Structure formats: structure tokens, C-alpha cells
Structure 1
Amino acid sequence: MQEHWQKPPTIDSQLITNLAAQLGLPESVLAILVGRGYDTADKITEFLATDLASLTTPDHFYDLDKAVARIESAIENDEKITVYGDYDADGVTSTSIMVEALATLGIEATYYIPSRFTDGYGPNMDRYHEIVADGTQLLITVDNGISGAAEVEYAQSQGVDVIVTDHHDLPAELPAAFAVVHPRHPQSDCQFSYFSGAGVAFYLAWGLLGELPVELLDLVAIGTVADVMPLVADNRILVANGLQQMQAGERLGLVALAKQAKLDLNHVTAHDIGFKLAPRLNSLGRVNSGRPAVELLTTFDDETATKIATDTEKTNQQRQQLVQEVVDKVAAELATVTAPPALVVAGENWAEGVLGIVASRLVDQYHCPTIVLSINPATQQAKGSGRSIGEFDLFAALDDFREQMINFGGHAGAIGLTVATDKVSELRDHLVAKAAQQQEQIQATGQQQIDAVFTAQNITKLTPDSVQAVSEILEPYGESNPEPTVALKNLQWQQWQAIGQTKQTLKGTLNNIISGIAFRQGGLAAQLQAASQVTAIGQLGLNRWQGKTT
């Protein structure tokens, strides 16, 4: 096996037997859980819990009671309330949660979704001036605001109270808002603190409504999965119950969007959110405006839902085309490049909204930290996104280049930046040098643990029923709870071919038992057709088609 895969740990068979007797769970499931460190009955029970009664309650959030009291006062005094959201899937679901919670109390709040292209992420001073001038008396931020000290200070100075709800990393100095609701607030006592923006908005809605708003859990699930939050503890509970809420099919916008995505909501999973629903919602903010996403998620009109969902599908197709155009251009430039320590690529007028996706694709292909920049010839500035790999801290690597940049922000795994065009070459040299010094951190990538190994002798144990049994217990899968990874060793692979319009998807069969698919691996088709035996590593899933499950 390649070095970036870890073989399954040696498991004490007696421990598995004892746990099976205690918990009544299949040994196949327990072997996976024990291999992942859940090696006692208490740890397993706590991890698997999905009961809403086990959720952290709103009173654990510092300032939440103060925020609720201020909103109640605004409602009583008929004040104008504005919700300031964000353009990504977490941002639009956060906005929808707050708008719906206020609507439940009879308040039609104004909401603003910033433009990725003109406003940027987070509070924008020009927009705050407009919101204040428009008569807003209470401003509620969702999925942003914690880094907006100057904007919040301005609004407060104009007599507009600001309630910040956010989940992003805390700055050294918190904004002087009327209330700051954040799970990692220094005075918060939340035992679990890695909620999404939608999760934090949900807790404020819960506190405001006085009871847990089950009808909003579908939105929380989307925001949590889309923002790649760890699916453990409270997040696991929120997403598991949110998926059940989605399966009920009560939100017209999601029903319409699922239809466009050819997704059966009766069997919707966290994977479907991450790869089908969230990308479509994200596409709106990447290409145009994220505002229609809120309209889609909050509408009670079938015709409106259908129209926006149809438009969203077209926008998503446009997004896919924009991504492919940039990827193709970069691939042509890098045709002769092998194993670079890091990549910094730039081109004129590349679509800014998709550069993060392009960077992620290039990281997957070249296995190194990558920055993708779009050059504006008029301003002579290059703006873009970076993605890291392994344990390489991209933000820290560029921190001592900060003074050479016009704008810079992010975290260890992802950054956004703007530099003068004549600084791109220096930026490239700087990152390449840093990456060359930290190859060990970069190579730490992919130390993904294999949960089980199958060969021709035991592959028949993999049946739809056995896979379904494991999934029903371990789902929802996602960050910190990945789908079980299996190695299929020395098998016969048949009928492998590149499929799809661009021939980038690889499809075939293993030992005439298991169907396999690998995205963006179409170039391997010829090699696999020539191989007598191959070892594959991946995740097992079920394929449902025309009433059949395989």
C-alpha cells in the first residue's frame, strides 16, 4: 500500500466480543469504532447519540439571553431589524434560520447577503452605512461579524444595536457589540464549541422561540455539512435530525432543489448535502448573488421554489464550466511540471468565485499547497484563494509576507489574498521556499486509516445489507466521522472505462461483484484495463436505482 494510507490497527477480538455483548451492536461496526479510538462502551454510546435531548442548551452560550431580550424589545417596539448574512451555504442557511425565526414571531425582517465580488466576506463599512441610513435599529449578524470591530463600532455609535452571532476564529479583541453570541466566547461554557454559523443562529432562534425549533434543523444540517464542521457530539445530533427533517419534504425550496439535483430526499444523506445540495447553493454566491438562495429556502410558494431551483441549476452548471476552464488553463501551463513543493498560478480575468474550488482540485492533483490568482489588468492586482494539504499551515507560511500583500486572511487550511501583480513572482518564491522546508508536514497528508481489508476470499461478505447495517449506525458521515475506508486487495477489475462528457470519471467492476467509480481519474482507464490484479482503496456506498439497491 502507498505510504499515505494506514493499515487497520490490530484490534483485541475479546474487546469486540465484550462490547458486542454490552451494547448489542454488530462486531463489524464495533471494529471500526474501536479502530478509531472509541474503545469503551461509554465512548461509543456518547459518540453514537442522536437524541435531541442530548443537545447543549441555549443557556450555555454567553450573551444569548441578552440577545434574546434585545430582540424581544425590538419586536415590542416595532423596530426595524436587519439580518446580515454571508454568501456561502452556511451563510444563507444561517440567514434563513434567523429570518424564519423572526417570521414565526410575526416580524418580517430585512436581510442582506453581501456580494463576494463587491463587498467581500464579513462586515463591509459601506454596507453598514447604508443599513444605518435605511433606518435599521437592530442589526443581527449570522455566520460573520466577529472580525468586524470597526463596522460594529460605527453602527453602535449611530444608535444601532448589533448582535453578533458567529463561529469563526476569535480575534484578539472582540467587537464592542450589544451582544456577542459565539460558542468559543471566553465566558461561554459550551462543552462543544465547533458549531457552524447555522448552528449558532439555530441556538439564538431556539432561545428566542422558547422551544427547540425542529422545523429549522434541515437548514442547520446543510450549513453544518457545507462548512465542513466535525460531525461529532452536538453537530452529529443536529445533522442526524436535520436529515430526518429533510426527508419529510416540508421545505418547498429543498424539494425543488433536490428535484433539479435528481436527489431522492427519502434517502438523503450528509454526503448528498456536501456533494449535491450545498454546491448548488454555493454556486449562486460564486457566480452572481447568494440572495436567491435565501428566497429559495424560505419560500412557501411552489412556483417560486421551482423557478429559483431551475435558475440555481443553470448557475451551478455555469460554475462547473468556469471551474473546468480555469483547471484546463492551469493544466496546460503545468504540463511539464512534476512534484512541485508548492504552486502559485495566475491568469487574467479568471472567475474569482471559483478559485477556491480550482485550488482544491490542484491540491488533489499535485499534492502540494496551492494558490490560484485572478489578475485584473485594470488595477494591476491579483486576487484569489489558497488551499493547503496535510499539516502544512498555509496561513502561517505567508504571515511574514503579509506586508507585501494588499489583503490577507484565512486559517491553516485555506486563505484569501490580494497582491499587486508585480508581487506574484515574489509570492511564488516565498511559498515554494516555505513548502520545501516543510515537506514532512506536507507529506503528512493522507495518513487516512483503512478500516477494513477485503480480498477475493472474503469479498462476498460485502452485501448491500451488510453495508446498510453499518451505515444506519455510523451515519451521518462527514468531517471527523468519515465513511468507512476499505482496501480491496488483489482483485480482478473488469470493464474499466472513462465516462462522462469530459471522460474524467472512471467506472468499472471488481470481481464482478462491486461496481467502482472514481471521479477525475479517467486517465487511469488504460492502465487498469491492462492490469491483471489491482488493489483499490475507497469508501463503500449503496447505489439506488429504479427501486433496486446494490
Structure 2
Amino acid sequence: MIKPKTRWDVGQWTPVQDERAAKLAAALKLPPLVARLLVARGVDEPEAARLFLEAGPEHMHDPYRLKGMEEAVERIRRSTAEGGKIRIYGDYDADGVSATSLLIRLFRRLGYDFDYYIPDRLKEGYGLNRPAIDQAAAAGVRLLLTVDTGMSAVDEVAYARELGMEVVVTDHHEPPEVLPEAHALINPKQPGCPYPFKGLAGAGVAFKLAHALTGEPPLELADVAALGTIADLMPLTGENRILVRCGLAQMRGGSVPGLRALAEKANVNLAAVTAADVAFGMAPRVNASGRLSHADHAVTLLTTERPEEAEEKAALLDGLNRERQKIVDAIVREAEEMWEARCDRARREGETAPPVIVLAGEGWNVGVIGIVASKLLEKHYKPTVILSVDGETGLCKGSARSIDGYDLHAALTSCAELFEHFGGHQAAAGMTLHRDRLAELERRLGEWALRTLTDEDWIPKTRVDLVCALEEASVETIEQLDRLQPFGADNPSPRVLIANVNVADRRTMGKDGKHLKLSLAGGGRLLDAVGFGMGGYAEQLAQGAYVSVIGELAMNEWNGNRRPQLLMKDLRVEQVQLFDLRGEREPLAALRAVLERTAARERSAAVLAATQAWAEAAAGAAQPEQGAENGTLSFYTFESMPAEGICCEELVLLGEPASGERLAAVLERCNGLEAVHAIYRQERASPGRTRRFPGREQFAKVYQLLRRAERLPERGLSERLAAMAGLPADTVEMMLDVLPNWHLSNGAKEAYM
């Protein structure tokens, strides 16, 4: 038995969904698994599925359906006609940089008189600010055009108007109750906006403005629009799918020097770039510019037409990203030490560790604390707040990340009086408060967690799209799954469950055996499954065990050959596993090896010896420090085992049991048992003694008979199976005592239970 690391959330599947999937598969000639996946994601009509898979630029929405677009276009064109200067005012994150760069490239092509401005993250903070507006007025700017910002800048927009400037706001953030009185507001989320797709990024809104200004989708600008959309974790559904698909195609053409140089520094093959490459390779380097220096470097990279300048800026951003990684690692180490000390203090005071992590450090870089919060959450799976303290003022600026079930915004709202200001949503938030209120913040957020979360909520959850039969994992199916790309927010890479398949082979890969490779068998098929960082499971899996795995189907291409494989994320074994070590020449050496592995995994173990002499030998062979603490290692003979039973996860049989009946009775009295290690040489059967512990091959034969059975008799089950398997009936009866019910088919379960 191996417990999964996470809760597996497998969606319910209904007969109605089966019918819809069959209809889709027939209409679009799709493999059944692909059709089921589309239905599971709410795309359950043939025409909707066709659009999801094939929609192109011709399916983009009319930009003038965005409220405020007509007024914005009229004002920009009037500014150009009158010779007025336009200033693009952007944001310092990858979305804001992409939106700014998109309009710079467009305005250059259209010959507009313009410049741009992005505030310094550390000195000015987010959004419009009065000194920047003063600077614009002094520079003769008549029209201020915001991208990816401005929706909440009520006072700043009014101030700009007082100075004689008009403001056009393009944004995608949630609008506040009071909107700025700008000349035009473009935001698909604003009240009264009829635009049918609400998930545009700031760069996506800028792309729609460019579409309106040019009269057609400017596909040559889709690359930076895709970069911003992916980086800002916008849903890759609806119009964003078209935009990102077109943008990735544009990137693959390699026409933009900055994107070529950026991809090279990120070790991305631009000719085959995917959304994942952008998200994990290219976007972090663009973000590093605004986090540690100034976003101007990233804007220059994305807008320059000179390859040498692009290479220079890409190298700079790559260096900043490496610096960012070092800063993050250093803060994570400090934060981990603080958390350990906080937990130690709680233990000394007889308390449990706080349910919410709240940590603050003086001088921590504000630009990266959100990343630090994400890393601590990933390790500890607790809502996490990380704050940087200003030593002079005592003010703390923080970023928070949450777990499923913990509504971060609601929790912060419940103690709103503690903050100077805060904002965010269920999963992420930002806030400012004084350091004197940190202890109260920890207490209040912890109380909210204890009130609102169940025990189950503290276990990480893995969403599984579908159950997949082993024979469905074919080259054709995986090729068709690629049509669901680009993968990202709201359209993640499909995750499947392959249940109860045999481990035909297992081995470790890579340096120090860090990775795991399994060969899964079932239905006459074999499938390779690879688990990166899962090498420790190799010694926990018994040969021939039945395992359930979740992961992502992928293509393994090597030397011109293409084979399907599963990239594993988690696994479980639900039955008690048998490790058959009866061929070992040195039983006590084998025992020591088992106990070493058990102790390293901090698991409870018991040794059952056939005789007292074996028990004493085992106790002498076991090193005292291995598992001896807290009574986690015990030694018994079959006769001395307590009548009330024992608690152990690992049971070692040292010496052959006297009979199958005795072994079955012992196993029934082991609570929490997950694995049995049989360590002894099996003697030849003597006359009249037929019932002995079965071998691996015999177990496998009975397993297969039960799995194939549609219906088995309630009475005489062991005799029937014995006749089918060619084994003694009492041996099969003992095997049924050990076998868990989950191995049986539905019909056999009903009979056996």
C-alpha cells in the first residue's frame, strides 16, 4: 500500500456525457479520449468543439463591441490630426510591458507623435501617480493613454484633466464602484460593456485597440499580445485561444529580434515554442526587468529592430532573472528559518503550529515576495503571507497566496481594520500594514482558517480530467490531444488517471536515481511512465504490484521513433504489497536492509519470526538506532504476537510460517498494514503439508482470474479459483484472506463481499 501525496479530484462522469462524447467523436472524427476531455471541459457540441479546436483570426470579435472603443479611436485619431503628443502609460509587469510594446510598435508604423512611460516599481509603485502626470504635462503631452492600468485611478485622472490633458484608459482589472472620469474607458469587465469575452489581458485589450485603429486584426503584433496574456495567467479559452495561437505562430517565424534573443537566453526553441515555454522561460525574464531594475529594458528588448541591441537587452534580462532567483532563494531560506523557529516556539508553549504562515523581514525585496509566498505555500500547503518591513516607518508591504478552500480576500476583509490598504482575490492578495499589527494578523487569519476549513482542505488536491484505459494511450490519441493547445490557465494540460495496472518493471533514472521509470501493463498493452523526482518509489513498489497513477500523456521521441508515455505526477497502491525475498541467501542482511529503508521513511515496523531463536537473531541484527524510537520497531514470534494485534505499516516475516491458516490470522491482526516482506528460504513441501505462502507468480495468476471474472459464486470461491489456477484450495483460500476487495471486478466484488 502506498498513499498518494494529494487528494485526487476525479470528476463524475454521467451517461449523458458519454452520449455527447460519442456524438463529438463521430462528428469530428476524434479519438474517444479527446472527445471525452472536450465534454469534461464544457465543450460538448460539435460546432463549439470545432471552434475550440480550429478557430482563427476570422473568429475574433469586433473591437467596437468594447464599450468606449469608438470614443478612444476618435480621440487618438484627432490627436494625430491636430499634431498632439500621446504618452503611453504602462505597467512594469510582463503584461504591462507587452501592452506598452504592442502600442509602441503600432504607433511607429502609423507615424504617430508619441512616447511612453512606465513607473519604477520600487520608487513609484503601481499605476498612475501625480509626479508622473506633472512630468507628462511639462513634456507637452495632450493625451495620456494607459495600458494595463488606470481603472482605479479616479483622483489621478481628475488631476490630469485639471492640467489640461485628456485620458483614455485601457485596462482589464476588476473595476471599482467609482470609475475615473476619463475621455474613454475600455475594459471588457466594466459595467454595461457588451463585449462577449471578458478574459482579455491588458495586452489583449491593447491588441483590440490596435485592431480598431487599423481595421483588421494586426497579427504581426499578436506575439507580444500572447506574451502578456500567458504571463498574466489569463484564461486560455475563447478569444484568448485564438490570440495566443496566432501569437505563438508569429513567434515561430522569428521576425522580432528581441523575441529571438530572449528565446535563446531562455533555452527555448523558438521554431517550436509553446505556451509553457513562454510561461516558464521567457515571461520570467521580462518580469525580472521590472522587479529588480526598470521595465524600460524589457520594452526596449521587445521593440528594438537592431539585433545587437536585442542581444544586449536579453543578456541583461537573463542576468536580472538569475539575480532574482538568488534573491528569492535567500529570502526563502530566511523565511524557512523563521517558520521553523515559530513552530518550535509553539511546541515549547504546548501549542500547535499556526494554521497560516505570516512572516516579515526587514529589507526583503518587495518585487519578489509574491514568489517567496508561492514557494512556502507549495512546501507547507498553508495560506502564506510574506511581508517586507521598512525599517524607518515600520510599514510592511506584503503578498499573500492561498490554498483551495481558503478565501484569502474574505479572510483579509474580516480584519480590514488592520491594514493601511489591501486588495486581491481568493487565491492571491497584497496588503500594507504596520509591523505592530503582524501578531494580530497571524491570529485573525488563523482563526478564519480554523473556522472555515475542514480536515480535508489541508491536503493538497490534484484535479484529474478523466479516467484513461491503458489501451487509449496511443500515438494517435496524443497527437489529437495536441489540438487542445495552447495549454495554460483554464485550459491546463490534460491530466488522466490510469487505474489498477500492473507494474511489469520498475527502475530509477538519472543522477543518484532521482527519477522513476515504470512499465505499466494491462489489456495486452505496455506503457512507459516517467516520474521526475519520484525515484524513491522504486524501492517502495513491489514487482507485480497493481498501481494507480495520474499524469499527463506525452510523446517520447528518440532516434526517429515515437512512443506514448505518461509523465507521472502522483501514484497510489491500495492493496497490501508483498515483497518476496524468499530467495535471499542471507536473511538477516536482507532484514537489515528492509529495516534501514523503513526507518529512513519513518514507518512503523514489526518482525514476526518463526521461532524464538530467529526473533533473538533479528533483534541482534537490527541496529538500535534504526526505527527503535517511539516503539516503531517490534519483534515477535508467531506464538508471542499479542492477541489484541499490533500496529505496523511494514511487517517482516522472518522464517516460514507454520501454516497458511496461522499466517492469515496474523495478517488480520496487523492494524495499518501496508507491506509484507517475506524473508526466508522456502523448504520443499513435506507429505501432508500443502498449504504454504504462495509465490509472486501464483498471486499474479489469481489476481488476473479475479480481475477478468464477471461473476463468481459466493460459496466455494476458493475451490473454483483453485481449479482454474491449478493450485491447492487451502492456498487460494489464504490468498483470498490477504487479497483486498478493490482488485476484483464488479461482479466478483459482489460475490466476494
Does TM-score exceed 0.5, indicating one fold? yes
Query: Which one-letter code corresponds to 1:538 in the other structure?
Result: G
3-state SS in 1 of match to 2:258? helix
Q: Which residue of 2 aligns with 1:118?
A: 123
Alpha-carbon distance, 1:375 to partner = 1.7
Structure 1 position 258, deviation (Å):
0.4
Q: 1:11 offset after TM fit, Å?
A: 5.5
Task: Compute the displacement of 1:178 (Å).
Answer: 0.8
Which of 227, 232, 247 is residue 242 of structure 1 equivalent to? 247
Q: CA RMSD in A?
A: 2.5
Unaligned runs of 5+ in 1: none
SS at match of 1:137: strand
Q: Larger Cα Rg: Structure 1 or Structure 2?
A: 2
Structure 1 position 351 matched with structure 2 position 354: no
Equivalent position of 1:150 in the other structure: 155
* Aligned-partner SS, 2:422: strand
> Contact conserved, 2:473 with 2:553, CA < 8 A, in 1?
no
Task: Verify the 8 A CA contact 2:385 2:398 in the aligned structure 1.
Answer: yes
Are 1:378 and 2:392 matched, yes or no? yes
Question: Is the 1:452–1:485 contact (alpha carbons within 8 Å) kept by the matching residues of 2?
Answer: no
- How far apart are residue 545 of structure 1 and its match? 7.9
The within-5 A match list for 1:298-317 is 298-317=303-322
Aligned to 2:517: 509
Match of 1:421 in 2: 435
Q: Deviations over 1:496-515 (max 9, x none)?
A: 5678xxx9xx5332229646
- 8 Å contact kept, 1:86–1:143: yes
Q: Is the 8 A contact 2:464 2:550 kept in 1?
A: no
SS of equivalent residue, structure 1 residue 74: helix
Deviation at 1:263, TM superposition (A): 0.7
Task: Quote the residue 2:488 is aligned against.
Answer: 478
- Quick check: 95-104 or 8-17, which moved more? 8-17
- Specify which of 228, 233, 239 is matched with residue 238 of structure 2: 233
CA distance in 2, matches of 1:357, 1:167: 23
Once the two structures are TM-superposed, the CA of residue 527 in structure 1 deviates from its matched residue by 5.0
Q: Contact (CA 8 Å) 2:360, 2:387: kept in 1 or not?
A: yes
Given that residues 9 and 35 in structure 1 are in contact (C-alpha distance below 8 angstroms), is that contact kept between their aligned partners in structure 2?
no
Deviation at 1:352, TM superposition (A): 1.4
Residue-pair matches, total: 536
Q: Secondary structure at the match of 2:368?
A: helix
Pairing of 1:13-162 with structure 2 (within 5 A): 13-162=18-167
How much has 1:397 moved relative to structure 2? Answer: 1.1
Give the direction of change, closer, same or farther, for the CA distance of 1:549–1:421 in structure 2 (3 Å limit). Answer: farther
Counterpart CA distance in 2 for 1:295 and 1:397 is: 41
Q: What residue identity is the alignment partner of 1:448?
A: R
Moved more, 382-391 or 481-490: 481-490
Quote how far apart the aligned CAs of 1:88 are: 0.7
Q: Give secondary structure in 2 for the equivalent of 1:81.
A: strand
Q: So what's the TM-score if we normalise by structure 1?
A: 0.91
User: Residues of 2 paired with 1:385 and 1:327: CA distance?
Assistant: 14
In 1, Cα distance between the equivalents of 2:7 and 2:157?
A: 46
Counterpart-to-counterpart distance in 2, 1:432 and 1:353? 26
1:517 positional shift: 5.0
Label 1:544 to 1:147 Cα distance change in 2 as closer, same or farther (>3 A).
farther
Displacement of 1:48 in angstroms is 2.9
> 1:101 corresponds to which letter in structure 2?
L
Q: For the residues of structure 1 that align with 2:65 and 2:529, how far apart are their CA atoms?
A: 47
Query: Given the two structures, how large is their TM-score scaled by the length of structure 2?
Result: 0.67
Deviates more, 1:142-151 or 1:524-533: 524-533
Distance 1:509 1:425 in 2: 47
Counterpart contact for 1:385–1:414, Cα < 8 Å: yes
| AA in 1 matched with 2:551 | G
Amino acid paired to 1:385: S
Name the SS for the 1:540 alignment partner. strand
Check if 1:10 corresponds to 2:13.
Answer: yes
Cα 1:288/1:420, change in 2 over 3 Å: same
Matches of residues 434-513 of structure 1 in structure 2 within 5 Å? Answer: 434-440=448-454, 442=457, 446=461, 448-453=463-468, 458=470, 462-463=473-474, 466-471=477-482, 473-489=483-499, 491=503, 492-495=505-508, 507-511=515-519
Partner SS for 1:76:
helix
Deviation of 1:89 after TM superposition, in Å, equals 0.7
Q: Distance in 2 between matches of 1:397 and 1:286?
A: 27
Distance 1:119 1:507, change over 3 A: farther
CA shift digits 1:343-389 (9 cap, x unpaired): 11112212211111111122222222111011222222221201122
Query: Would you say the 8 A contact 1:453–1:487 is kept in 2?
Result: yes
Alpha carbons of structure 1 residues 443 and 528: separation in structure 2 relative to 1, 3 Å: same
Q: Cα 1:388–1:44, aligned 2, differ >3 Å: closer, same or farther?
A: same
**Residue 277 and residue 544 in structure 1: after superposition, are their counterparts in 2 closer, same or farther (change >3 A)?**
farther
- Partner SS, residue 190 of structure 1: coil
**Which one is further off, 462-471 or 253-262?**
462-471
SS at match of 1:352: coil
Question: What's the CA shift for 1:148?
Answer: 0.5
C-alpha contact (below 8 Å) 1:363/1:369 kept by paired residues: yes
Kindly tell me: are residues 74 and 285 of structure 1, through their superposed partners in 2, closer, same or farther at Cα, counting changes over 3 Å?
same
Whole-angstrom CA distance in 2 between matches of 1:418 and 1:318: 26
Q: Note if contact 2:6-2:459 (Cα within 8 Å) is conserved in structure 1.
A: no
CA distance in 2, matches of 1:80, 1:373: 40
Structure 2: gaps of 5 or more residues: 344-351, 521-526, 564-753
- Match among 530, 544, 551 for residue 538 of structure 1: 551
Letter in 1 for 2:429: I
Kindly state the Cα deviation for residue 449 of structure 1 after the two structures are TM-superposed: 2.7
Match of 1:430, SS state, is helix
Whole-angstrom distance in 2 between the partners of 1:544 and 1:395: 45
Q: Secondary structure in 1 aligned to 2:12? A: coil
Cα distance in 2 for residues equivalent to 1:467 and 1:155: 55
Match of residue 266 from structure 2: 261
CA contact (8 A) 1:494 1:511 kept: no
TM-aligned CA distance change 1:498 to 1:346, over 3 Å: farther
Q: Deviations over 1:62-114 (max 9, x none)?
A: 11111111111111122121111011110100101111111111125211111
Identity %: 37
The 1:129–1:486 alpha-carbon spacing in structure 2 relative to 1, beyond 3 Å, is same
User: Relative contact order (C-alpha < 8 Å, sep 6+): which is higher?
Assistant: 1
Q: Against the structure 1 CA distance between its residues 394 and 16, is the aligned structure 2 distance closer, same or farther, given a 3 Å change threshold?
A: closer
Contact 1:390 / 1:444 at 8 angstroms: preserved in 2? no
* Contact 1:101 1:209 survives alignment (8 Å): no
- Tell me which amino acid in the other structure corresponds to 2:389: I
- 1:250-273 per-position Cα deviation (integer Å, ceiling 9, x unaligned): 111111100111111121111111
Structure 1 contact 149–176 (Cα < 8 Å) conserved: yes
Which deviates further from its counterpart, 126-135 or 67-76?
A: 126-135
Report the Cα distance in structure 2 between the residues aligned to 1:447 and 1:151, rounded to whole angstroms: 44
Task: Note the 1:205-216 alignment, pairs <5 A.
Answer: 205-216=210-221
Separation in structure 2 between the aligned mates of residue 371 and residue 316 of structure 1, nearest angstrom:
23
- Contact 2:174–2:190 (CA under 8 A) maintained in structure 1: no
Contact 2:289 2:297 in 1 (8 A): yes
Q: Report the CA distance between 1:340 and its aligned residue.
A: 4.6
Secondary structure at the aligned position of 1:145 is classed as coil
Give the Cα–Cα distance (whole angstroms) in 2 for the partners of residues 310 and 40 of structure 1. Answer: 48
CA-CA distance at 1:427 after TM superposition:
1.1
How many angstroms apart in 1 are the aligned matches of 2:44 and 2:462?
Answer: 21
Aligned-pair CA distance for 1:130 = 1.9
